[in-house]
Homo-oligomer: A and B are copies of this chain.
Amino acid sequence: MTQIKNIGVFTSGGDAPGMNAAIRAVVRTAMYYGIEVTGIRRGYDGMGKGEFVTMNRKSVSNIIQRGGTILKTARCDNFRTPEGRKNAYEQLLKHKVDALVAIGGDGTFTGAKVFGNEYDIPVVGLPGTIDNDLVGTDFTIGYDTAINTVVDAVDKIRDTAESHDRLFIVEVMGRDSGLIALRTGIATGAEAILIPESKTGLEGLFNRLEFGRKDKTSRIVIVAEGDDTVGGAFEVGRLVQEKFPNYDTRISILGHIQRGGAPSCMDRVLASRVGAAAVEALRDGHRNEMIGLINGEIAYTPFEHAIKHHQGIDPNMIKLVEMLSM
């Protein structure tokens, strides 16, 4: 067992609901094992600038239900340079931080991997991103909350769609991944989804609209932000309107509301479990690994592997969207 005395914890990249629950779990578990915790504000950027704050049990009171991250987050170009990382390491030394828990996504772990290779400091990561696009965990922290927010928003839009017999093109987050679009497409009874991973694209959509049930009084199409079929929801909307002038077509970009809000129960439980496991992993000598949850069990995945692969799309679920909205 490694003798770790002071764990630094930080959030990096886009914020996600449940990050606070994860911070709380790291802090409280460390305290439980007699380890000190240093909060690092604004991710790698704050690490380089020495934005360090001593955490105790009370610093994480009453935050489990809060969206965002109390440690704040930032993107950091500086950390991409060897000087930036050297600087960050010196700050850690100065504050006697001898291990790190990095909460974030792909970019966060890329930084962590390089840093963990260059300097002798154990780093583990927690999957905190609404996109769910990491391997090594069934779900990422924030994904469940985000899809509930989308579903709630589309339920509202459906009211208007029904009342006006309209077709709505709804754009959801997911720059490289259609996972938000996929589950919310099923859950909102969407006519079709457009996602980066599928290539049926516009043709498929047009077919659905042309040969689908005619007595429908509203139609929803979910488009992932990163879908490049034709270049975004507005362009999809334009083409649908052109091809189906009799449909009253509208576009809605859900945008940033998808990142915020009180985390769902599952996101809090996930964050709590992997947060506690991260501290235990560091004590057990793990390093350069992401701590996730697979089939209900804690799973350890080398950063190397987590950032090179992405969670794929189950083709049966794509088919399900279509079959059930008929």
List the interface of chain A (C-beta within 8 A of B): 11, 15, 17, 19, 21, 24-25, 28-29, 31-32, 57-58, 61-62, 64-69, 72-74, 138, 144, 147-153, 155-160, 162-165, 168, 183-184, 186-189, 213, 215-217, 250, 252-257, 259-262, 264-266, 268-269, 272-273, 276, 295-296, 314, 317, 320, 323-326
Contacts and interface: CB of A to CB of B under 8 A. Distances in A.
| Leading 5 A-B pairs by shortest Cβ distance | A156-B260, A159-B260, A67-B159, A68-B159, A187-B268
A144 to B, nearest CB: 7
Given A15-B164, A164-B15, A323-B29, A259 B159 contact: yes
Nearest to A24: B324
A25 B168 CA distance: 22
A261 B160 CA distance: 9
Query: How many copies of this kind of chain does the complex include?
Result: 4
A107 to B, nearest CB: 14
B260 A31 contact: no
B268 A266 contact: no
Given A256-B157, A272-B320, A148 B29 contact: no
B162 A269 contact: no
A83 B69 CA distance: 47
A170 B31 CA distance: 27
Contact of A28 (B24, B162, B261, B324): B324
Nearest to A17: B159
A262 to B, nearest CB: 7
A189 to B, nearest CB: 5
Nearest to A146: B265
A213 B28 CA distance: 12
24 contacts: A11-B163, A28-B325, A29-B324, A62-B189, A64-B187, A68-B162, A72-B165, A138-B296, A144-B265, A144-B266, A148-B264, A149-B156, A153-B257, A155-B260, A156-B256, A157-B257, A157-B260, A160-B256, A186-B268, A186-B269, A186-B272, A187-B268, A253-B253, A295-B295
B57 A160 contact: no
